[in-house]
Copies of this chain bind each other. A is one copy, B any other.
Amino acid sequence: MFFASDNTGPVHAEILAALSAANAGFSPSYGEDAMMTEVRNRVRDLFEAPMASVYLVATGTAANALALATLSQPWQTIFCTPLAHIHTDECNAPEFFTGGAKLSLVGGGDKMTPADLAAAIHSWTLGDVHVSQRGPLALTQVTEMGHVYTLDELATLTAIAADHDLPAYLDGARFANAVATLGCTPAEMTWKAGIDAVSMGGTKNGCLGVEAVIFFNPENAWEFELRRKRSAHLFSKHRYLSAQMLAYLTDDLWLRSAQSANANAAHLANGLRAMPGAQFLNDPQANMIFATLPRATHQRLHAAGAVYGLSGGPLDSGDADEPLACRLVCDWSISRDQIDRFVEIATT
């Protein structure tokens, strides 16, 4: 019963098979492999962006930090929410890769509003050499609290950025889950909504470790390549990144897996909804559930070996009825049996 994160599950069989299939003979290194050409073409087709620059890296933090560093200057500030992964979970990676840019925290939660963003931008006076200069907008989709921005919301926020000549980056560690939720195309959720660069995560959705970084404006390409190399994120045996991404893009594996993950979360949510004492902290929109359960429920679940994030108080001591918050993440691989067992234990 692993609901800790979508990076704790196994690699999809189709991905693993692709690694084996790629393992024949010699191949040029450092991204010159033939499979990468195929990946590039497929991504461009998928995003309806024939001129896009497409790169692969192995971690989501690398994708975020490299993309943001390419879009910003060291004396600028990046606009993100206080719950953004780049702020809370990357040990200052954006600051490191950008050479010392600042992160300005917008709003108070995981989703920013247009008013929040406008206020944050205006808080740094244009043309004043003393202040942090306005830099890129960084959104996360699916957000860190499991929300999914609508296409309109994205377009409205990126339009505000564009009004100030600021580029927009989308952290798509759970890109596929968001597309699955919205039922839109990748193009609609990115450049058609004003996004300039996006990461399309594979790692949390069945890959071993691969993320695509896509720039819709190809002028950023060579700089990104240099940044990737000097930050040691250019793989010599790059074909094994290409092979993962190629399998991920084949027969919509990326979308199928995300749909499974979202459906798993919906199934879990349904189970919890029926349970007395469960309280949803927000409406689950993708593959993450934020809810409170009574302490006694958590104790039963832990005793049964369930693994997931818990916050708001100690597990072992305190009122049995006190609600404690938890984060439950479903990946594509978790079985309905496991979910049902979780619900059963929780409900008992």
Interface residues of A (CB under 8 A from B): 2, 4-5, 7-11, 16, 19-20, 23-30, 57-62, 64-66, 73-77, 88-93, 95-103, 105, 129-133, 203-204, 208-209, 223, 225-227, 229-237, 240, 307
Contacts and interface: CB of A to CB of B under 8 A. Distances in A.
Q: How many copies does the complex hold?
A: 4
A237 B130 contact: no
Nearest to A123: B88
Contacts of A129: 30, 91, 225-226, 229, 234
A91 B209 contact: no
A108 to B, nearest CB: 12
Contact of A96 (B64, B88, B231): B231
B232 A233 contact: yes
Given A75-B226, A236-B59, A236-B203, A92 B103 contact: no
A256 to B, nearest CB: 18
B226 A59 contact: no
Contact of A230 (B5, B57, B75): B75
Contacts of A16: 19-20, 23
A233 B59 contact: yes
A133 B209 contact: no
A10 B93 CA distance: 32
Contacts of A89: 130-131
A57 B97 CA distance: 18
Contacts of A91: 75, 129-133, 226, 229-230
Nearest to A93: B230
A208 B232 contact: no
Contact of A62 (B60, B61, B225, B232): B232
Given A7-B236, A129-B229, 20 more contacts: A10-B26, A26-B307, A59-B236, A61-B229, A61-B234, A73-B226, A75-B230, A88-B131, A90-B232, A91-B133, A92-B100, A92-B102, A92-B132, A93-B232, A95-B100, A99-B99, A99-B100, A204-B236, A209-B235, A231-B231
A338 B283 CA distance: 61
Contacts of A98: 100
A203 to B, nearest CB: 6
B101 A74 contact: no
Contacts of A133: 91, 226
Contacts of A88: 130-131
Contacts of A57: 232
A307 B61 CA distance: 35
A23 B19 CA distance: 13
User: Most B CB atoms within 10 A — which of A24, A28, A231?
Assistant: A231
